[in-house]
């Protein structure tokens, strides 16, 4: 029994091969336009004759595909967009994360826009072209989330916008948005949402306090009151537990303000860029405790774990301690959403507390601006999943006043 010959590559995108029990050679040609292989029999039993047949087939396919002038290639406008976004990032007009997302959507080797549209004539890309891309995407990566598809759509529109600005095309093709699934964020339930004995937030705090008193060690590092204060600070300041937000805050970024009493925390390079976040009053006493622990502090010292110059390392230390805390308190999973609690759950708790404890009177726009998010995000992920308060229920049932 003889082995089946291996495929013979003639040149890029064209190869011949023979399958078992067939005397004829097959040719496989990559169709760049439709992003798939065309497979045909050469009708030849000789590899020499099959080579000639394969080359003729490939040439006929290439002749049916018009050659695109370099100046009209989609890939050229991709490069222009990438240079533009980098410049906006360097000058501080765009958040680096925005630029990173654009680059990721365009250059992903598996399903990025450049891989699919790179050699297309941008003048001929229409709405149906993008719909075909989405169909290709669905077959290749059915696991991609609606938000990822919307990110790809936004990147595609940005590339086409460059072509509009240069007068190459008149309008950006219509692009459908994928419907997003609203998933409520896990947070620590608190009274009055639950009974006092079921208050997960208070259980979290009391367990952290106990572990600090007991000097519980996590990988050789003892848990101190600093973890307890971080939990409180996250809840009363709305900042994100990121190296660019919580762990980047220095003493020079903190201002104690009055009327109402609060901290004004400067976030210089957060997820959504620069912002000044106003805290709740309780954050003032938390900050005072922090300062008392650092009697020789300087304005450039970090407020949390100042001994760690590497802020990624500082974040990992707190994350490990938080994981240990979750296990001891038996709060790993939010029973209402079925999702795991993370440090981010405290930010979610902070936003929910403002909505609930203000009896629905908090200005959502101000809350969103202060937290560095959007009104849409708060309504989608928080407000719509919270039960109606007694005050709002009374308002719902009211018949007006004389």
Q: What are the CB-based long-range contacts (under 8 Å, 24+) for 287-290?
A: 287/233, 287/254, 287/256, 287/263, 289/225, 289/229, 290/229
Predicted local distance difference test score (pLDDT) of residue 322: 97
The CA-based angle 268-271-272, given to 5 degrees, is 80
Tell the residue number behind the tokens 């078992």, with chain if given: 20
Tell the residue number behind the tokens 């013979």, with chain if given: 8
Taking Cα atoms as reference points, which of 90, 76, 101 lies closest to residue 154?
A: 101
Q: Alpha carbon 115 to chain centroid distance? A: 22
Tens digit of each residue's pLDDT, the chain (402 residues):
445 457 888 777 788 888 877 788 888 877 665 666 777 788 888 888 888 777 776 666 555 555 556 788 898 899 999 888 888 878 877 777 778 888 888 888 777 898 888 888 999 999 888 988 888 888 888 888 888 888 899 999 999 999 999 999 999 988 877 665 666 789 999 998 889 999 999 999 999 999 999 999 999 999 999 999 999 999 999 999 999 999 999 999 999 999 999 999 999 988 778 899 999 999 999 999 999 999 899 999 999 999 999 999 999 999 999 999 999 999 999 998 889 999 999 999 999 888 888 876 788 888 888 888 888 788 777 766 666 555 545 544 555 554
Give the Cα separation of 377 and 354 in Å (integer): 15
Domains in the chain with CATH codes = 8-63 (no CATH), 70-165 (no CATH), 196-395 (1.10.443.10)
Predicted local distance difference test score (pLDDT) of residue 21: 75
Predicted local distance difference test score (pLDDT) of residue 55: 73
Predicted local distance difference test score (pLDDT) of residue 375: 82
Peptide bond into 288 cis (omega under 30): no
Contact between residue 302 and residue 313 where contact means Cβ atoms under 8 Å apart: no
């Amino acid at each position: 029994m003889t082995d089946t010959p291996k495929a013979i590559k003639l040149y890029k995108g064209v190869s011949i091969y023979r399958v078992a029990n067939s005397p004829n050679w097959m040719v496989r040609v990559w169709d760049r336009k439709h992003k798939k292989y065309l497979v045909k029999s050469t009708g030849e039993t000789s590899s020499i004759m099959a080579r000639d047949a394969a080359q003729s087939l490939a040439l006929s396919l290439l002749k049916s595909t018009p050659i695109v002038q370099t100046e009209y290639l989609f890939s050229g406008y991709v490069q222009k967009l990438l240079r533009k976004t980098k410049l906006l990032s360097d000058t501080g007009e765009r958040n680096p994360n925005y630029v990173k997302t654009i680059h990721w959507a365009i250059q992903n080797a598996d399903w990025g826009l450049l891989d699919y549209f790179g050699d297309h004539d941008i003048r001929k890309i229409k709405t149906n072209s993008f719909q075909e891309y989405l169909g290709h995407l669905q077959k290749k990566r059915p696991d991609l989330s609606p938000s990822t598809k919307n990110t790809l759509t936004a990147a595609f529109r940005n590339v086409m916008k460059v072509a509009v600005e240069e007068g190459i095309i008149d309008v950006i093709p219509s692009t459908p948005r994928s419907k997003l699934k609203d998933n409520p964020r896990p947070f620590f339930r608190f009274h009055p949402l639950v009974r006092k004995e079921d208050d997960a937030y208070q259980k979290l705090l009391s367990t952290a306090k106990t572990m600090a008193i007991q000097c519980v060690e996590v990988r050789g590092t003892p848990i101190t009151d600093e973890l307890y204060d971080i939990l409180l600070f996250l809840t009363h300041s709305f900042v994100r537990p990121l190296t660019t937000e919580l762990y980047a805050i220095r003493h020079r970024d903190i201002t104690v303000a009055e009327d109402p009493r609060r901290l004004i925390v400067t976030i210089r390079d957060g997820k959504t860029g620069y912002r000044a976040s106003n805290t709740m009053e309780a954050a003032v006493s938390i900050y005072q405790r922090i300062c008392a622990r650092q009697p020789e502090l300087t304005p450039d010292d970090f407020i949390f774990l100042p001994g760690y110059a590497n802020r990624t390392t500082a974040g990992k230390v707190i994350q490990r301690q938080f994981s240990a805390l979750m296990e001891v308190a038996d709060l790993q999973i939010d029973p209402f959403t079925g999702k795991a609690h993370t440090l981010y759950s405290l930010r979610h708790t902070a936003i929910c507390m403002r909505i609930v404890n203000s009896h629905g009177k908090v200005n959502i726009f101000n809350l969103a601006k202060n937290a560095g998010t959007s009104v849409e995000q708060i309504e989608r992920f928080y407000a719509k999943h919270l039960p109606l308060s007694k005050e709002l229920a009374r308002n719902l049932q009211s018949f007006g006043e004389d």
